[in-house]
Amino acid sequence: MVNRIPGAEVVALSDVLPEELAKVAAKFNIPATFSNYQQVLERPDVEAVAICTPTNTHYQMVLDAAAARKHIFCEKPLDLAIDKIEEIDARVRACGVQLMVGFNRRFDPNFLKVRETVQSGRIGVPHVLKITSRDPGIPPEGYIRASGGIFLDMTIHDFDMARYQMGSEVTEVYARATVLVDPVFEQAGDWDTAVVTLAFANGALGTIDNSRRAVYGYDQRVEVFGSEGMVTVNNNTYDSHICLDRTGTHSSLPLNFFMDRYTESYLREMQAFVEAVQTRKPVPVTGHDGLMAVVIGLAAAKSVRENRTVKLSDLYDGSKSG
Amino acid sequence: MVNRIPGAEVVALSDVLPEELAKVAAKFNIPATFSNYQQVLERPDVEAVAICTPTNTHYQMVLDAAAARKHIFCEKPLDLAIDKIEEIDARVRACGVQLMVGFNRRFDPNFLKVRETVQSGRIGVPHVLKITSRDPGIPPEGYIRASGGIFLDMTIHDFDMARYQMGSEVTEVYARATVLVDPVFEQAGDWDTAVVTLAFANGALGTIDNSRRAVYGYDQRVEVFGSEGMVTVNNNTYDSHICLDRTGTHSSLPLNFFMDRYTESYLREMQAFVEAVQTRKPVPVTGHDGLMAVVIGLAAAKSVRENRTVKLSDLYDGSKSG
Amino acid sequence: MVNRIPGAEVVALSDVLPEELAKVAAKFNIPATFSNYQQVLERPDVEAVAICTPTNTHYQMVLDAAAARKHIFCEKPLDLAIDKIEEIDARVRACGVQLMVGFNRRFDPNFLKVRETVQSGRIGVPHVLKITSRDPGIPPEGYIRASGGIFLDMTIHDFDMARYQMGSEVTEVYARATVLVDPVFEQAGDWDTAVVTLAFANGALGTIDNSRRAVYGYDQRVEVFGSEGMVTVNNNTYDSHICLDRTGTHSSLPLNFFMDRYTESYLREMQAFVEAVQTRKPVPVTGHDGLMAVVIGLAAAKSVRENRTVKLSDLYDGSKSG
Amino acid sequence: MVNRIPGAEVVALSDVLPEELAKVAAKFNIPATFSNYQQVLERPDVEAVAICTPTNTHYQMVLDAAAARKHIFCEKPLDLAIDKIEEIDARVRACGVQLMVGFNRRFDPNFLKVRETVQSGRIGVPHVLKITSRDPGIPPEGYIRASGGIFLDMTIHDFDMARYQMGSEVTEVYARATVLVDPVFEQAGDWDTAVVTLAFANGALGTIDNSRRAVYGYDQRVEVFGSEGMVTVNNNTYDSHICLDRTGTHSSLPLNFFMDRYTESYLREMQAFVEAVQTRKPVPVTGHDGLMAVVIGLAAAKSVRENRTVKLSDLYDGSKSG
């Protein structure tokens, strides 16, 4: 990707693992490396930074980068606590830098086409949003334990997608989750299977279903139903072949790995960040977007635990002002 | 259909509208007609009756038919009150006649294929059921007011489908419904758009989404996701043509009318009833099935009104024994 | 079908096999049966006859029916000799009766939709026609030997389809055929696999490919490519289910039996004949249509034998006047 | 692409247009540029060259590169004359360098999957090959005049695809071509619409249909039908969205530009060339492949002009020994 975004140059790289750091720098011809990210922030030739570290480091790094007047791309979630994300959002504004949150799926050509179709009015007023989001396989146990749970790690993408597609804030959440895939989730106090109902400020309804393991691949579908029609997307498959034999009609599975499935969206996401920095236009995914997805995720987890509807305004005062 | 079920003969017809009665009898060559259904029940050459009248007449007619020792096919719902359906169920058993409830969609080749696939174990243990069920257009206001509401009139098919596909009873329901299609539903104290979450006794989850009006046709899809795969069905379309021009790739819409969409399932349903009567084997859709779909429907309506999860056992003691 | 065409009644049936005759008459409640078809022709209550006998009997039966002033539906091909079909065509005209040839595929909803799309001008001027026509299995040896060969028995449907879709006469044929499926075809002096190139009077080109055995079912596709687009049809399948598991995406095969595949077209074909007879309007598939398909078939066989292009005008003078 | 093939470095670039040369060199950071390609061949740090010039320059350049002991990638066709291609093939062998011809479509994931399916025996013995190959729009008139005609410029890809998919040499060709798209083709002594029949050494048959302009995009399909099944591929589309409204079901068109459609295959093609050079293994597309596609193309053009079947052995003695 380093070489594929015209106008951007990677001038410095920082990582706490020295070997990784050297290897990646060599592979992509990155001139300067540092074990301490502060040194990157000190460089005058650095205009913007991309923070792709574990969630618990985001808060401090974003604040430091903002203080150093660097524009910031940060992977989701910004943090697991609402007040810290609010603080982040306030500080980057105060420092006059841009903060873009890594909801890469917004840049996927299929999901973008759904949004364009909805925005164009072609399906009329949106009534029902449906998202199916199933991972192809379970992450390592260590990752699960540090992930913040299914709603803040996995469904968070769908919560952002929901807001993106409907162009309206979520007001209430009802979620039901369970462990059907692997007991490791139960041991981590997490769930692997979930169904979520969303109510939107515009009166529409939404439903999300998640599983941590779809044996047939990465299942990522979005559908918006409206007063004048419906738009949906199929999964991306390895190829488009169809084979018919005595046993049936057979074709390829959905892509199985997120790097394959979302290659294009990762590239377009970073292009959009670079372009926003260069043109001083607003980034397309803001700190507010990062905040709201976390609020919905926390509401969903609370809903499962208490088996009841949770209003977003109970968790976050500003939920209606977005 | 009259002529298309070998081994069955329509010997008598009853309707309260004399003109309709005469017209239909003439069209299908039915020898005897009566304005009073009791006269049909008195005939010794009548082995079985099909009750296709408004819901509020089912209770008395079924009891009368059972007393007359006629096997009974009755359209759904049997009644809107749980205790009356329980009484119906008890009485038909006591009279030794069969009662089959008209959940015709079970006999649709597509939904049947989903069930066979699930039952075969091919997709492993079922984890998540998804049903999309959207009507092509809204019924007349009079119908809406007498319908018992969206959950007992429309979603009831999906509740039965859910039990049929998952082979497990529903234990809890959360439903969210609203009026987005037409204010006539609000005026009738009803809703036109709904999203339902189901919890099943086997631990699986389900989601149903409904709309009273899909401008593009009758949208009827079922998907079952399991530990080893997923099975889903597409809608039936008018034809299979695909046309590509400068503006895009275009193909036919889903069938728009329930008589077209479910022609085959209505035929197979009646064949199954006739066969069960003739061979004295159990009917494939029982009074218990009719009861459970109503219980879920009542729970869903209660859930919307109280914005909370409703346990079926709160409405019906026997809900777990099914 | 007997009961499914309003306005038509089967009053008499004739067959040379007495047992068959009795069985079918009983099944469909046909009042009169005759071992000699002449007796059917003598009945004043017979307005029209359907001739569904082996090809070598068509000539005499059609002439006899015409002489008896009965409208005639006759299965394809009318005959294997051009001059006899010309004679048939002349005689039915002289007798003032209608003759409709059984190219049932014209009435298939999918192929009809292709034609409507072409006729509407939506794909512009037609440039290339493509037909894939593969039988699901080989017929009995006796049938093969009496069939007149692949081009007059099987491809004849495609030749008619070509004229029907393009709305233009075929002027030249190049065919290449071989035996790849079963040596029984070679023993019968026939072929089981063929590729045909057609040139049309309007300047367009066409290609047909045939096989006597597609193990995956009845493969019947038509595509018309034009200056402004393309229209094509997929096969009809048993159901619309899609199953994804670890091994791939799987769905149903094309229907395997011509009675299933063309149920609807047989029904509509006979309705069209009955309607034409009743309203005294021209039948939609004429003796000329029956003739031209045979001419193309004979040209194709000649082309294979001589490995060269054959002009239809070399076989039939009137080929351009259609 | 320059940066996307690990292990390969572009060290020099040559072009007769100085401005183009400078621009491309700058864009891709290529250190050395020359107006005379001989200077590239003189450099000791050049291991291999890619010749992407007009067809009439290939012969001399390939011979020069071979003499300079550089491995060669050359765009198709190598030349329009059989004897010159034979000479090329002989000289590169004599010089001990590799020559790979640019039939990039062999590296397309879809067509590769078809080949793998055929090779695996999954569809049994191949009986019929079908290729549809339609360009999205017509090239400039100058290009058309210098192109060698539709069969050597466009269908040549399909001829190579035919040999690649069937794993068997073509023995006879029958082609029919005409001008239906644009009179510019007629003025250039060329055709824009063609249907080709192929006979293969293994007894199978093939059909290709071409058009120079499909208004709906780049239409590139391959189907192989065999004794045990069939494999086919759909076109690559812009995205996978499906939109249903009152007018129909709508989805995206095939990709419209060859650089989009074949991005992946161009990359994999060059990777394969680099790998073959580096590992000293045979290139996957040889001079013989380049020759045979031209022989079939010349035979096709001759077939159209003479309206008859042309045996490849009449044009090229070695046609059977491939």
Closest residue of C to B229, CA-based? C245
- As a whole number, mean pLDDT of residues C122-137 equals 98
User: In degrees rounded to 5, what are phi and psi of residue D223?
Assistant: -140, 135
Chain centre distance of CA B300 = 16
Query: What pLDDT, on a 0 to 100 scale, did the predictor assign at position C176?
Result: 98
- What subunits make at least 3 CB pairs under 8 angstroms with A? B, C, D
Whole-number Å distance between alpha carbons of C147 and C185? 11
* C78 and C287 Cβ atoms separated by less than 8 Å: yes
Helix (H) or strand (E) segment spanning residue D177: strand D170-178
Identify which of B283, B286, B288, B262 has the alpha carbon closest to the alpha carbon of residue B271.
B283
User: Is C80:C297 a contact under the CB 8 Å cutoff?
Assistant: no
Asked if pLDDT for residue C113 goes beyond 90, the answer is yes
Amino acid making up residue D63: L
| Inter-residue contact C166 to C126 (CB < 8 Å) | yes
The conformational region for residue B7 under phi > 0 = left, psi -120 to 50 = alpha, else beta, is: left
How far apart CA D91 and CA D78 sit, in angstroms, is 13
- Is residue A32 a contact partner of residue A22, using CB atoms and an 8 Å limit? no
Give C140→chain B minimum CA distance, Å. Answer: 31
CB contact under 8 A, D239 and A122: no
* Residues C239, B229: C-beta atoms closer than 8 Å: no
Nearby residues of C212 by Cβ (< 8 Å), 6 or more positions away: C134, C135, C137, C138, C139, C150, C154, C181, C182, C185, C192, C193
Q: What is the pLDDT of residue C320?
A: 54
Identify the CA nearest to D81 among candidates D299, D298, D317. Answer: D298
Mean pLDDT of D169-186: 98
Q: Give yes or no for a contact between D306 and D299, defined as CB atoms under 8 angstroms apart.
A: no
pLDDT at B320: 54
* A196, β-bridge pairs: A175, A208
* pLDDT tens digits, B239-249: 999 999 999 99
The answer to whether B51 and B74 are in contact (CB under 8 A) is yes
* Residues in D touching C207 (Cβ below 8 Å): 195, 197, 207, 209
Mean pLDDT across D214-242: 97
**What would the pLDDT profile of C228-272 be if each residue is shown by its tens digit?**
999 999 999 999 999 999 999 999 999 998 888 898 999 999 999
What pLDDT, on the 0 to 100 scale, is given for residue B322? 44
**pLDDT tens-digit readout, A66-94:** 999 999 999 999 999 999 999 999 999 99
The yes-or-no verdict on residue B3 having pLDDT over 70 is: no
- Render A277-312 in DSSP notation, one character per residue: HHHTPPPSS-HHHHHHHHHHHHHHHHHHHHTS-EEH
* pLDDT band of B27, cuts 50, 70, 90: confident
Closest Cα in chain C, distance from residue D153 (Å): 20
Query: Which of the residues C129, C230, C235, C242 would you substitute to probe the D interface, choosing the one with the greatest number of D C-beta atoms within 10 Å?
Result: C230
Indicate the angle between helix axes D109-119 and D155-166, nearest 10 degrees.
30
Mind telling me how many Å the CA of B139 is from chain C's nearest CA?
Answer: 28
Residues of D in contact with B217 (CB under 8 A): 244
- Asked if the model's pLDDT at residue C302 lies above 50, the reply is yes
What pLDDT band is residue C322 in, cutting at 50, 70 and 90? very low
Q: Flag whether pLDDT at B321 surpasses 60.
A: no
Strand extents, DSSP E, B39-116: 48-51, 71-74, 99-101
Query: Which residue among B217, B250, B254 places its CB closest to the CB of D250?
Result: B250
Say how many CA atoms lie within 13 Å of D82 toward its Cβ: 15
Helix (H) or strand (E) holding D243: strand D241-245
Mutate to test the interface with A, among B207, B212, B221 (most CBs of A within 10 A): B207
Q: pLDDT tier at D7 (50, 70, 90 boundaries)?
A: confident
| Nearest alpha carbon to residue B245 among C109, C225, C254 | C225
End-to-end C-alpha distance for chain B, whole angstroms? 33
Angle at A63 between CA A58 and CA A64, to 5 degrees: 100
Q: Mutation target for B interface from D221, D249, D252, D256: give the one with most B CBs within 10 A.
A: D249
**Percentage of residues in chain C having pLDDT higher than 70:** 98
CA distance to partner chain B, nearest, from residue D111 (Å): 22
The distance of D121 to chain A (nearest Cα, Å) reads 11
Query: If you measure CA to CA, which chain B residue comes closest to C236?
Result: B240
B71-74 and B170-178 strand pairing: unpaired
Q: Which of B213, B225, B309 sits opposite A308 (nearest CB)?
A: B309
Please give the structure tokens belonging to residue B21: 């009665």
Q: Please, how many CA atoms are within 13 Å of residue C265, restricted to the half-sphere of its CB? A: 19
Residues of D in contact with B249 (CB under 8 A): 216, 237, 250-253
CB contact under 8 A, C239 and B123: no
Q: How confident is the model at residue A2 (pLDDT cuts 50, 70, 90)?
A: low
CA distance to partner chain C, nearest, from residue A251 (Å): 5
Better-scored residue on pLDDT, C29 or A167: A167
Q: Strand, helix or coil at B8?
A: coil
Q: What are phi and psi of B159, to 5 degrees?
A: -65, -40
Structure confidence at residue D260 as a pLDDT band (50, 70, 90): confident
Instruction: Please state which of the ranges B150-154, C249-253, D257-261 shows the lowest mean pLDDT.
Output: D257-261
Answer yes or no: do C245 and B122 touch at CB < 8 A: yes
Which candidate, B123, D125, D128, places its Cα nearest to that of C131? D128
Under DSSP, the state recorded for A59 is H
Q: Can you tell me which residue has the tokens 């026939």?
A: C190
As a whole number of angstroms, the longest Cα–Cα distance in chain B is 67
What does the CA dihedral B79, B80, B86, B92 come to, rounded to 10 degrees? 0
Q: What is the pLDDT of residues C176-209, one digit of tens each?
A: 999 999 999 999 999 999 999 999 999 999 999 9
> Using CB atoms, which residue from D205, D216, D227 is nearest to C176?
D205
Question: In degrees rounded to 5, what are phi and psi of residue B53?
Answer: -105, 175
Task: Indicate the residue of D114, D240, D241 with minimum beta-carbon distance to A117.
Answer: D241
Tell me: pLDDT of B2 over 60: no
Per the CB < 8 A criterion, the answer to whether B146 and B58 are in contact is: no
How much is the average pLDDT of D215-219? 97
- Chain D hits for C180, CB-CB cut-off 8 Å, are 125, 127, 203-204, 227
- pLDDT, average across residues D15-36: 91
For chain A, the residues whose C-beta falls within 8 A of a C-beta of chain C are 215-217, 237, 244-246, 248-254
Q: Is the pLDDT of residue D317 over 90?
A: no
End-to-end C-alpha distance for chain C, whole angstroms: 32
Per-residue pLDDT reduced to its tens digit, C54-85: 999 999 999 999 999 999 999 999 999 999 99
| Chains near B (3 or more Cβ pairs under 8 Å) | A, C, D
Which among D229, D236, D244 is the nearest to A240, CB-wise? D236
Q: How confident is the model at residue A322 (pLDDT cuts 50, 70, 90)?
A: very low
* Gap between the Cα atoms of C158 and C132, Å rounded: 8
Provide mean pLDDT across the span C145-174: 97
Interface test with D, best of B242, B249, B250, B251 (most D CBs within 10 A): B249
A194 pLDDT band, cuts 50/70/90, is: very high
Backbone angles phi, psi at B73, to 5 degrees: -110, 125
Q: Among A110, A229, A243, whose Cβ lies nearest the Cβ of D244?
A: A229
Region A32-51: mean pLDDT is 95
Chain B residue at shortest CA distance from A225 = B214
- pLDDT single digits (tens) D81-90: 999 999 999 9
**Partners of B276 in beta bridges:** none
For residue C73, the number of C-alpha atoms closer than 13 Å in the C-beta half-sphere is 21
Q: Residue B29 — very low, low, confident or very high, per pLDDT cuts 50/70/90?
A: confident
